[in-house]
Amino acid sequence: MAFFKTQERTKERFSLLLLDLEEYYFEQYTAYHVTSPSIKENKIRGSFKVCSRSIIFDPDGLAEPIIKIPLRDCQRIEFVEKENNPFNEPRPPAITVSCEQVIFIKESNVIAPYRNERGSKKLTFELEGWSKTEDVVQTLLQLHRASCLDKLGDQTAMIAANLQSRLARSSFDKNCFQSVAEKPHMECPVEMVMPLVSNPGHVCVTNENLYFQPLNGHPHVIQIKLNEVRRIYKRRHGLRPLGLEVFCTENNLCSDIYLKFYYPADRDEIYYYIATFLENHIKEHTAESYMLQWQRGHLSNYEYLLHLNNLADRSCNDLSQYPVFPWVIADYTSTQFDLANSDTFRDLSKPIGALNQERLDRLLARYGGMPEPRFIYGSHYSSPGYVLFYLVRVAPEHMLCLQNGRFDHADRMFNSISETWKNCLEGATDFKELIPEFYGNDSSFLENRLSLDLGRKQNGTLVGDVLLPPWASDASDFLKKHRLALESQYVSEHLHEWIDLVFGFKQRGSEAVEAHNVFHPLTYEGGMDCDSIEDTDQRIAMLTQILEFGQTPKQLFTSPHPQRITPLFQNLTRSSSVNSAAGELSPVSLCEDSSFEDLTEESRRMAWANMATLKRISSHKIHKEAVTGIAVTRDGASIFSTSQDSTLKMFSKELKEFQRSVSFSNMALSSCLMLADGKTVLCSSWDNNVYFYSIPYGRRQDTLMGHDDAVSEMCWFDDRLYTASWDSTVKVWQCSSKNQPSNKKNTFELLAELEHDAGVNTVALNPAGTLLASGCKDGTVTIWDTSSYQTLQQVHCHAGTIHHSAFSPDSRHVLSVGDDCYMKVMDVQTGMMISSVKAEEEQRCFCWDGSSVLCGGRSGNLLLWDLLSNTVISRIPAHSGAVTAMWMNELCNKVITGGEDKQIMFWRLQS
């Protein structure tokens, strides 16, 4: 189980969990507990541990209990001098502790509730080595004075001063370096954070390793190789930006180390130093990049939720911010497990507290009469108590630590999956969600494998294994089916609704109120500034309440989260219309020996998988200025290109030379496209016109004078022409030429004029022709409905002119590139910016499959970019000037590019 990755069970009985919450373990000495001072044989050897609020004696023998003496219960702590009686064996110096309470732990080496003995007691301890006995007594007296102070704040301050003094007097032992050649970069005091406890010490980072050396030597030095680090996250700890968590695995739930620093600057310096060892780390791990991977099926629902939890400061080492997962099943009583039945599932659009309308009505009535600050739910969906409620069978010592040495009442424990779900639906104060273990593969948290005595319920039965639903044959079967449910079609289609509640735009504000998703203000990030509370006791009490009550994750999204692209939504033959939607030809006949059936999703995937093998076949300089557009005939034999030199050129692939040159005016041509009939090329011009060129007749067939400024780009679908112009409009034209000879003129009917706030530089249709994306000189991308011509989304994406934009094949996303050097992916459904990548240089044009992008930059290179990881896969030298035009056919593995160097280049994928 991931929960125990950093706290694997050992033969050593002592654990930091034996300390009180917020207590430190300072030092230890080999010692003897003298039970009968006059008889040497009644000495029990063990370890005498000095802690900030207690004395702990850990016997070597497993049969003897661990003894804990709270310092606040001590009446006297004395140093007994060495006796030098010449007639008897000299007696060493000793420490005597007179107290009112002794706590006995792990009697007979059994994990069980602690046994407290009250009443006046006197215990004697002799330290091996003798020389430090008096110093240890002085330390204990100082800590005893701190524990007896009236105010909790004064106690905390005095103990903190003691800790800082110890850290300042010590440093990292460089003899622990793995190599004498290692060069230290930085060292500072920190605390290693684990569930419920933290351990002070020193961190040292070198050019090879990160080390943590505990102040007390427990455990030994921890070493992490920097070249093995895969992920690092900054964390809030105690509501302050002091935490740093390091992972050496890609998808593991628990980290290799969690460090809490005393100063944010120290944390940040080590963070950025380690980040230099991670390829593209700073850009790679964003909620938007993970969202894009999840949407396209590259991450499972489980993996995506883990990444979101990590990004939202949820950590297995911090029980107040433990990863939160949703209940997804609502049926725990049936004998059959039916994933095809929607009634099997919980409504993911509502928080737990809103699933039962009758209970919600009572809560809302209370909420309506509540003074500010108001909240609907008085308890949270995740807290340390809830986490250990689920994990008590594998983390009994954590539960004992949290609850002062006691387990919960037997009837209130995690006894049944069905009863727990029922209580979450009906209980007046129970709104808890699940934890990742419910979707893992380790079922031990559901079984009492340690044979713990967890009590007897009112009906007389002992608390044992968790009672499973009838549809699960055993605990492993339950987890397997639970995971199947999480990855099911239904959950995949609705998980974004739950993400909106927990990590997204319904987490707070008016949207949270409308969704009945309002918790106590102290649970939200920034809900309370503890540092502004002057009274120390109040500040500590407030902080303790926040940490124990539970915390809402950091908000990751401020607009609706897009839905996942599930198989039912994917049209595997949609690619047949991709090029025709842009006014080019269906790829059916672009390859001599291809057929429509060949162009499947698999063929596309294979083509893009080989894109890094793109090889240049030939290059031809046929223009006098930059190439602006490329179009190809149905048979692939002729290539048309437009240029700023005002000409349309026809190039023969077979003869490897250009055959025609046409000029419509003395101004630049900005783009071209081929109509579906394969006989007409359209050219847009800076002279405000669109020209129709007849290939069979070799002359201009028509002129559309439609704009007041340059026409920048066009697209075509079902006899409708969409023209974008620097006059700040996109115009939609119905072109009628049916049943007419190709040399007859067309008729143009203006259907719509789409207004923009700036000149429109690029326009694109989705494959079905139902959506239009326009990109402007002011950096705005607008999504239009082509049936109603209504604006669906309008997002300011770039800081300057947008050069090119295009829909993904599934129409879910729009990619745009601009002169601010950014590539940005917008979700069509929500308008959310789900990926933002800054390239090394300005990108001018691209082709993409929704995940990978082949783009041409200002330097003339072609870049193959993986948007799912935000990494450049391949860099291909191409033109000597900016790449300005690109055409691709995945089926034939062909690419044609044009550039400012006046050349067109032919490329082929080498399989």
Decide the pairing of beta strands 852-857 and 862-866.
antiparallel
pLDDT in tens, 74-84: 999 999 887 65
Residue 474 pLDDT: 96
Averaged pLDDT for residues 695-714: 93
- With H, G, I as helix, E, B as strand and everything else as coil, classify residue 434: strand
Mean pLDDT lowest for which of 104-118, 125-139, 420-434, 466-480? 125-139
Instruction: Quote the CA–CA distance of 70 and 197 in Å, as a whole number.
Output: 17
Residue 282 pLDDT: 46
Instruction: Quote the CA–CA distance of 399 and 414 in Å, as a whole number.
Output: 12
Averaged pLDDT for residues 488-509: 96
pLDDT band per the 50, 70, 90 thresholds, residue 7: very low
Query: Taking Cα atoms as reference points, which of 259, 261, 263, 256 lies closest to residue 226?
Result: 256
* Residue 86: pLDDT over 70: no
Residue 70 pLDDT: 96
Mean pLDDT lowest for which of 220-224, 570-574, 785-789? 570-574
What is the DSSP code string of 648-672?
EEEEETTTTEEEEEEESSSS-EEEE
pTM of the model: 0.82
Query: Taking Cα atoms as reference points, which of 785, 779, 814, 816 lies closest to residue 798?
Result: 779
Residue 12 pLDDT: 75
Dig out the tokens for 490 from the structure. Answer: 């239904």
State the greatest distance between any 2 C-alpha atoms of the chain, in Å, as a whole number. 132
- With H, G, I as helix, E, B as strand and everything else as coil, classify residue 716: strand
| Angle between helical axes of 489-502 and 301-311 (0-180°, round to 10) | 10
pLDDT band per the 50, 70, 90 thresholds, residue 528: low
Residue 87 pLDDT: 56
Decide if 506 contacts 343 (C-beta within 8 A).
no
Query: Taking Cα atoms as reference points, which of 224, 243, 358, 376 lies closest to residue 310?
Result: 243
* Residue 432: pLDDT over 90: yes
* Residue 565: pLDDT over 90: no
Residue 37 pLDDT: 57
Decide if 182 contacts 208 (C-beta within 8 A).
yes
Cα-Cα-Cα-Cα torsion 192, 193, 196, 197, nearest 10 degrees, comes to 10
Q: Which residue has the tokens 């079967």?
A: 477
Residue 680 pLDDT: 92
Decide if 125 contacts 31 (C-beta within 8 A).
yes
Query: Taking Cα atoms as reference points, which of 466, 321, 332 lies closest to residue 393?
Result: 466
* Residue 701: pLDDT over 50: yes
Residue 860 pLDDT: 96
pLDDT band per the 50, 70, 90 thresholds, residue 741: very low
* Residue 4: pLDDT over 60: no
**Beta strand extents in 54-140 (DSSP E only):** 54-59, 66-70, 74-80, 94-105, 115-127
Output 572 or 908, whichever has higher pLDDT.
908
Instruction: Quote the CA–CA distance of 653 and 788 in Å, as a whole number.
Output: 42
Residue 910 pLDDT: 77
| Angle between helical axes of 384-391 and 536-549 (0-180°, round to 10) | 40
Residue 106 pLDDT: 95
Q: How far is CA 17 from CA 114, 402, 850, in A?
A: 12, 9, 49
* Residue 246: pLDDT over 80: yes
Instruction: Quote the CA–CA distance of 193 and 246 in Å, as a whole number.
Output: 12
Q: Which helix (H) or strand (E) holds 680?
A: strand 680-685
Domains of the chain: 2-168 (2.30.29.30), 170-285 (2.30.29.30), 319-549 (1.10.1540.10), 570-909 (2.130.10.10)
Q: How far is CA 149 from the centre of its chain?
A: 44
Cα-Cα-Cα-Cα torsion 761, 767, 770, 774, nearest 10 degrees, comes to -10
Query: Taking Cα atoms as reference points, which of 118, 2, 3, 71 lies closest to residue 399?
Result: 3
Dig out the tokens for 747 from the structure. Answer: 């008729």
The residues, ordered by sequence, that sit 6+ positions from 779 with a Cβ below 8 Å of its Cβ are 796, 797, 798, 799, 800, 801, 802, 818, 820
pLDDT in tens, 575-615: 323 333 333 333 333 343 333 334 456 666 777 877 888 89
Query: Taking Cα atoms as reference points, which of 206, 259, 250 lies closest to residue 230?
Result: 250
